[in-house]
Copies of this chain bind each other. A is one copy, B any other.
């Protein structure tokens, strides 16, 4: 038996030692009103649910195959089959882009606050992260990002619309950034997890800018977060590189089968998006009446300012089984909560409960 002496254990890489654990609050979310993770709040297409009942042992016992999913995705996106590849959620897509292109000390330009996994994976590959702060009104800092791009830049990360700010980047600004990045031999990674709610995508720029990589997901509008299905769209050379680094079986069979079925019922997603946009209008109107400051949103969530009542409101909503996201520790988001938008029915219920909670905390009385 080997005696364990403190500090003599084999140590992880220094880069890993420095990393902080990222533990999102995922426990016990079922059966509640989940407007904390920006998922679809009701579920995927009924066709997908019906398919689940038809799965058989071969869907479980056999290693997954991806040919048909890639074809369906290519058709849906209007790209070639070799310009798209499925990943185990967006997380694996980010990991794979970083592991393919990022060397130690490469500079990654990252507008913040944003989705945590970019910094997470950039740290694993020991990139130098250059944070660029969003503007005070949470709009995209175009000038600052353009100024930050230089010969040392390897990757520029854009999240459009951004999480958690819900703000978007104009097509014109994206082109400017792509050009400046290209001149400096830098890649631009655009995460479009919520693009359906914004109503536009940068996919068509793939053919014009060979430094562009786009990420999309089935976790949000499609309502399949539990299955872990994301995908990367880029030119065929980049996709070929990513394929080399990806595990040959990272996406599971059920995600493949359900993903294909979900793409057969895109109308369901379109309807859900319309419903969310109507809900969002109601929420903005009611929040204005309640004198709660909100920020512009192009996504299925938004940031609202609750001053020194934010944490109390977060907790009291949670006690009522309504989950919003506490983002008060993020840059620019002091005293703010991020609130997801569901159906109008859910919104009416949400507003009723919010009003009760506001009364309890003595909101602007």
Interface positions of A (Cβ within 8 A of B): 1-2, 4, 9-10, 12-13, 16, 19-24, 26-31, 34, 37, 39-44, 48-49, 52-53, 55-65, 67, 88-89, 91-92, 95, 99-103, 117, 124, 179, 182, 185-187, 208-211, 219, 223-228, 237-238, 240-241, 243-245, 247-255, 258
Q: Considering only CB atoms, which chain B residue lies closest to A65 in the complex? A: B26
Give Cα A114–Cα B219 distance, bound, in whole angstroms. Answer: 36
9 contacts between A and B (CB under 8 A): A4-B210, A12-B100, A12-B101, A29-B62, A29-B63, A63-B226, A88-B228, A92-B250, A252-B255
State whether A61 touches B249 (Cβ < 8 A): no
Least Cβ distance of A210 to chain B in Å? 5
Known: A60-B48, A62-B34, A210-B2. A124 touches B245 (CB 8 A): yes
State whether B92 touches A244 (Cβ < 8 A): no
Q: Which of B49, B124, B252 meets A228, CB within 8 Å?
A: B252
Interface centre among A53, A55, A63 (most CB of B within 10 A): A63
Give Cα A27–Cα B247 distance, bound, in whole angstroms. Answer: 16
Known: A65-B28, A223-B61, A252-B254. A245 touches B10 (CB 8 A): no
State whether A59 touches B117 (Cβ < 8 A): no
Give Cα A211–Cα B254 distance, bound, in whole angstroms. Answer: 36
State whether A2 touches B182 (Cβ < 8 A): yes
A61 cross-chain contacts in B, Cβ below 8 A: 39-44, 223-226
A27 cross-chain contacts in B, Cβ below 8 A: 65, 67
Give Cα A101–Cα B17 distance, bound, in whole angstroms. Answer: 10
State whether A62 touches B210 (Cβ < 8 A): no
State whether A228 touches B248 (Cβ < 8 A): no
A1 cross-chain contacts in B, Cβ below 8 A: 208
Least Cβ distance of A15 to chain B in Å? 9
State whether A89 touches B249 (Cβ < 8 A): yes
Known: A44-B57, A61-B223, A223-B61. A237 touches B9 (CB 8 A): yes
Q: Considering only CB atoms, which chain B residue lies closest to A4 in the complex? A: B210
State whether B16 touches A245 (Cβ < 8 A): yes
A243 cross-chain contacts in B, Cβ below 8 A: 21
By Cβ-Cβ distance, the 7 closest A-B pairs, closest first, are: A43-B57, A226-B253, A91-B247, A228-B252, A61-B223, A1-B208, A12-B241
A34 cross-chain contacts in B, Cβ below 8 A: 62
Known: A39-B62, A92-B247. A102 touches B227 (CB 8 A): no
Q: Considering only CB atoms, which chain B residue lies closest to A256 in the complex? A: B226
Q: Which of B29, B31, B227, B237 meets A60, CB within 8 Å?
A: B227
Give Cα A208–Cα B2 distance, bound, in whole angstroms. Answer: 6
A209 cross-chain contacts in B, Cβ below 8 A: 2
A247 cross-chain contacts in B, Cβ below 8 A: 88-89, 91-92, 95, 117
State whether B63 touches A39 (Cβ < 8 A): yes
Least Cβ distance of A201 to chain B in Å? 18
State whether B182 touches A16 (Cβ < 8 A): no
Give Cα A67–Cα B26 distance, bound, in whole angstroms. Answer: 10
A227 cross-chain contacts in B, Cβ below 8 A: 60, 252-254
Least Cβ distance of A157 to chain B in Å? 15
A91 cross-chain contacts in B, Cβ below 8 A: 247-250
- Beyond A13-B101, A39-B62, list 13 extra A-B contacts (CB 8 Å): A1-B208, A2-B179, A4-B210, A26-B63, A34-B62, A43-B58, A52-B52, A88-B88, A88-B247, A89-B249, A124-B245, A228-B249, A228-B252
